[in-house]
Structure 1
Amino acid sequence: MVRKCSAVIIGVGPEQGLGATLAKYFAAKGLHVYIAGRSEDNLQQVAEKIRQKGGSATIVLADATIERDVAHLFKVARLDNHAVDIAVYNVDSNIPSPLLDMDTEAFTALWKQNCLGAFFFGKEAVNAMKDQHQGTLFFTGATASLRAKPPFTGFAAAKAGLRALAQGMAREFSPQGIHVVHTVIDGVIDGERARNQFPDYVQAKGQDGLLQLDAIAETYWAIHKQHPSAWTHELDLRPFKEPF
């Protein structure tokens, strides 16, 4: 039996968000998408949009910080006899807090969401891809992956851990045909969260001052299609107006 190609994405939230946009983009390219997150309403809305465009999607309620949830996500794809071509860890949780005001619980929660969950997801993705000797595993990072700046020190510690995880996995599994990618989102994404939480900032940035969702998805797809003789492990994406 020929196995169908699929993408597994965890961290799918509102339709105007990166996880949802990646799911819609990959579905438009012909992949069956498994979309996972903690909100069934969000997942249902995204899946319906995909199906309206002729794509196919399966929703899986999952908390990335719970190992059995992540294992179940990949089990669903395996039981459907779908080959995992793309896997995306898109969980992003940030709590701004001066270090002396941050308690252990908050610091640990950031690490679990941004780093520990990526460890669970990465292991499952590699296990799903290793026998086929191909596949692309994306970890979505942030500016904080590269530098820590208060009041986001806790977030930066977690994202730096994510980056180290991605580096180690790339070196270990690239020779087995698995393309491990760490993307640094160095700017604000023009999505629902930004428009709801800081609309004045969005307005001030002007035309193309924020990262456009479809443009990010195009970049992810281009990386997935790279020839193995010229793979990208890490790249940064930012609006042309963004200082760096």
Structure 2
Amino acid sequence: MPAFAYRSALIVGAGTGLSASLARLLSKAGLKIALTARSTDKLAKLAAETDAKVFACDASQSGQVTGLFEELDASVGAPDVVIYNASFRTRGALVDLVPADVERAMAVSAFGAFLVAQQAARRMLPKSQGAIFFTGASASVKGYAKSAPFAMGKFALRGLAQSLARELQPQGIHVAHFVIDGGIRSDRRQEPADKPDALLDPDAIAQTYFDVLRQPRNAWSTEVELRPWVETF
């Protein structure tokens, strides 16, 4: 399916990292961009750069997600592409974890993805076309010590993606899960001088999402792992 079969994209959990790279690349490809986050103050520059519409939404709240899609319907139209990039992390020893924080991690990383995918699918199914992409992590496939809540959320996200791929792809909706297995480069996180390319470039990750988006439906990917050369398996 050509990339330009898609006309608009919604990025949930937008910020200054990977989601910003995605917004820039998709905007350059001609897609209309909508950005959403709990706090939208940080999105002004990116919105101006990509001519994006900005919406405030806590993706873990059913009413807010329903309201977001209704607002999109009434303003810019339902998105053809939805990328779920939201997550919440809390760390600590099992005996010290705050239950409310663990609940929040599950709600943002997994339940919010379900809510967004449900609203997106309801709009894509009548057209038999669309794409729903989920951003996973190393924790999607391996749980680390003192990081149980993040693994719980990301494992659930991966399960959601696999289930939806089997349900929705035969109906024309491309579902894919991306395992980002490594650190992502940012202004605050740079590679050591002796290990160039030790961190994932957010622009390179975004390019992979775009390449998957352009796949013909006779050869759709449902999961892609990305890692820098220094990352162990």
What's the TM-score, normalizing by structure 2?
0.93
Question: What is the letter of the counterpart of residue 39 of structure 2?
Answer: S
Q: Does 1:238 align with 2:233?
A: no
Residue 105 of structure 1 is aligned with which of 85, 100, 124?
A: 100
Which one is further off, 172-181 or 65-74?
Answer: 65-74
The ranges of structure 1 where at least 4 consecutive aligned residues each deviate by more than 6 angstroms after the TM superposition are none
Shift of 1:61: 0.8
- Partners of 1:191 and 1:128 lie apart in 2 by 35
Residue 20 of structure 2 aligns to a residue whose secondary structure is: helix
Q: Does 1:38 align with 2:38?
A: yes
The residue that corresponds to 1:18 in the other structure is 18
The alignment-based identity, stated in percent, is: 38
What's the TM-score, normalizing by structure 1?
0.89
Question: What is the letter of the counterpart of residue 61 of structure 1?
Answer: A
Contact 1:130/1:178 (8 A) holds in 2: yes
The gaps in structure 1 that reach 5 residues or longer are 51-55
- Partners of 1:124 and 1:131 lie apart in 2 by 12
- Partners of 2:53 and 2:49 lie apart in 1 by 12
The gaps in structure 2 that reach 5 residues or longer are none
Contact 2:212/2:220 (8 A) holds in 1: yes
- Aligned length in residues: 229
Residue 148 of structure 2 is aligned with which of 133, 137, 153?
A: 153
Shift of 1:107: 1.1
Residue 70 of structure 1 is aligned with which of 56, 60, 65?
A: 65
- Partners of 2:194 and 2:62 lie apart in 1 by 39
Contact 2:13/2:37 (8 A) holds in 1: yes
The residue that corresponds to 1:185 in the other structure is 180
Residue 100 of structure 1 aligns to a residue whose secondary structure is: helix
Q: Deviations over 1:153-200 (max 9, x none)?
A: 1110111011111111111111110011010000001124x52xxx6x
Residue 59 of structure 1 is aligned with which of 54, 68, 89?
A: 54
Alpha carbons of structure 1 residues 205 and 125: separation in structure 2 relative to 1, 3 Å: farther
